[in-house]
Amino acid sequence: MIAIVGGGISGLSAAWYLTQASHACTLIESKPRLGGVIDTASWEGCVIEGGPDSFLGIKPEAAQLGKELGLDGELISSNDDRRVTYIWKNGRLIALPDGMMMMVPTKTWPVVTTPLLGWGTKIRMGLEYFRRPGGERPERSVAEFIEEHYGKETVDYLAEPLLSGVYGGNPRALSVNAVLPRFVEMERKYGSLTRGALEARKRMPPSGALFRTFRRGLGSLVEALEQRLAGGMMVVHAVAEAIERTGEGWRVHAGGEWVEASHVVLAIPAYAAASLLRPLDGELGRLLDTVEYSSSMTVALAYRPGRLPIEPDGFGFLVPGKERRKLRALTHVQNKFPFRAPEGYAVIRCFLGGAGKEAVLEESDEAILRGVMRDLREMIGLDAGPDYQRIVRWPRAMAQYTLGHAYRVKKIEGRVKGLRGVFLAGNAYGGIGVPDCIRTGRLAAEAIVRGGQEATR
């Protein structure tokens, strides 16, 4: 029997790959529902995602898991032909220049003509092409790294809004080695990121969709896992409060009972794993506690046909922190994916919070909605209240890969190995996205099946 603590996608994936290898599992989840931050609702046929809405098409794990669960027919791709993302700057929305590989330009004309960047930055971007490799460099923050290549304006109006959409993070704190390792490699090899990106483009196979998801939302992945796991997995809805060694293995205390297990997978945030493991290894608890988290929230606003007085343009927009708005990002859901809303309906998904802006989670729903509607009125002229709204708060849900992340994870892995039979999974270690979390769950399962101890990445 394997005990898995945490019923988010990481824990569910571990359970799936373990039961596929004929291991019985008990899943311990503190909330009354499974899925963790994957939280799909529906309203009048609209898909309303409270947490993640999709996964990167280039990362195979989520689509692969979907296929294994019989959801291949449900997989859908983003409408990349409508893909325009805007950035809010000085009172207006400006389209991201064509050809950007995140914050790295690969086409000259769109950068020359964009009003998003000043002439100083544009000239700097052009000169960056001539940088030469400078050998191994010490770890830097994303902000230091991008500023060195393209200047501060690129940090403020490209790196910060793009990364806050993924990590809810602060580029001055995030480690470039952990968050953008491909760019670090390009710098090492070419000196210039622009040259590195152009070379990478040449070698890239014709790319598929940027984002993928399931027709009825990511919740269908959780639903399918729950159904298919029902035979081989027991679920205990209680907080795991303690872990102890027994003669042959381990036991986990949850809901007033002890769950006996040969192995334990902790698929919970690092700070939650820290409180369970501290009594077994104080240093491991301390290391896990140093993984920082940011808090964020989503506000979905849905409109019946004829009720939205504006024309939703592109996938949506990002708001740099420098612009001091409540809103951090907005998605026009029915533009980004097909099958998201019946004909004529419109769904707007807003992101709030993130590093340094967490206080918004403490506000009442009324205050949040008032603030969001004020921003929408001032930014895109939307003054009609929604027919449906859903506010979902995610306190301390996004791990932050801050400076020293790789070193920290290596130390954590080393100490967990010493416990023999305890495994970690989740977004604190080797990637924050849904596919990364599925991979951590699968790796923990594979290590248990093999009888080894390496997992996590």
Ligand X SMILES: Cc1cc2nc3c(=O)[nH]c(=O)nc-3n(C[C@H](O)[C@H](O)[C@H](O)COP(=O)(O)OP(=O)(O)OC[C@H]3O[C@@H](n4cnc5c(N)ncnc54)[C@H](O)[C@@H]3O)c2cc1C
- Listed in order, strand segments (DSSP E) in 238-387 are 240-245, 250-254, 257-261, 263-266, 292-303, 316-318, 327-332, 346-353
HSE-CB for 407 with a 13 A CA cutoff: 7
Stretch that binds ligand X, among 18-26, 47-55, 340-348, 414-422 (CB under 6 A): 47-55
Q: Does 219 bind ligand X (CB under 6 A)?
A: no
Stretch that binds ligand X, among 190-198, 201-209, 331-339, 432-440 (CB under 6 A): 432-440
When binding is defined by CB under 6 A, the residue of 51, 161, 196, 312 that contacts ligand X is 51
Name the residue type at position 2: I
When binding is defined by CB under 6 A, the residue of 16, 36, 315, 456 that contacts ligand X is 36
Per DSSP, what are the bridge partners of residue 392? Answer: 298
Q: Does 175 bind ligand X (CB under 6 A)?
A: no
Q: Does 444 bind ligand X (CB under 6 A)?
A: no
Q: How far is the CB of 184 from ligand X (least distance, A)?
A: 21
Q: Report the alpha-carbon distance of residue 148 to residue 208 in Å, rounded.
A: 32
Stretch that binds ligand X, among 23-31, 68-76, 144-152, 179-187 (CB under 6 A): 23-31
Residues 6+ apart with CB under 8 A from 158: 87, 96, 100, 102, 103, 116, 146, 150
Q: Report the alpha-carbon distance of residue 141 to residue 312 in Å, rounded.
A: 35
- How far CA 375 is from CA of 177, 329, 349, in Å, comes to 35, 11, 13
Q: Does 368 bind ligand X (CB under 6 A)?
A: no
Q: Report the alpha-carbon distance of residue 138 to residue 352 in Å, rounded.
A: 33
Q: Which is nearer to ligand X, 51 or 105 (CB)?
A: 51
Tokens of 339: 């099958």
DSSP 34: S
Q: Does 28 bind ligand X (CB under 6 A)?
A: yes
When binding is defined by CB under 6 A, the residue of 2, 3, 4, 7 that contacts ligand X is 7
Residues 6+ apart with CB under 8 A from 230: none
When binding is defined by CB under 6 A, the residue of 125, 268, 270, 329 that contacts ligand X is 268
Q: How far is the CB of 163 from ligand X (least distance, A)?
A: 13
Q: Which is nearer to ligand X, 143 or 225 (CB)?
A: 225
The CA radius of gyration of the chain, in Å to the nearest whole number, is 23
Q: How far is the CB of 442 from ligand X (least distance, A)?
A: 12
Binding mask 402-431 for ligand X (x = CB under 6 A): ------------------------xx----
When binding is defined by CB under 6 A, the residue of 31, 67, 201, 420 that contacts ligand X is 31
Q: Does 60 bind ligand X (CB under 6 A)?
A: no
Binding mask 280-319 for ligand X (x = CB under 6 A): ----------------x-x---------------------
Per DSSP, what are the bridge partners of residue 55? Answer: 212
When binding is defined by CB under 6 A, the residue of 65, 96, 178, 272 that contacts ligand X is 272
Q: SS3 for 345? A: coil
Q: Does 30 bind ligand X (CB under 6 A)?
A: yes
**Pairing mode of beta strands 250-254, 240-245:** antiparallel
**For binding to ligand X (CB under 6 A), which residues are involved?**
5-11, 28-31, 36-38, 51-55, 239-240, 267-268, 272, 296, 298, 394, 397-398, 426-427, 432-434, 437
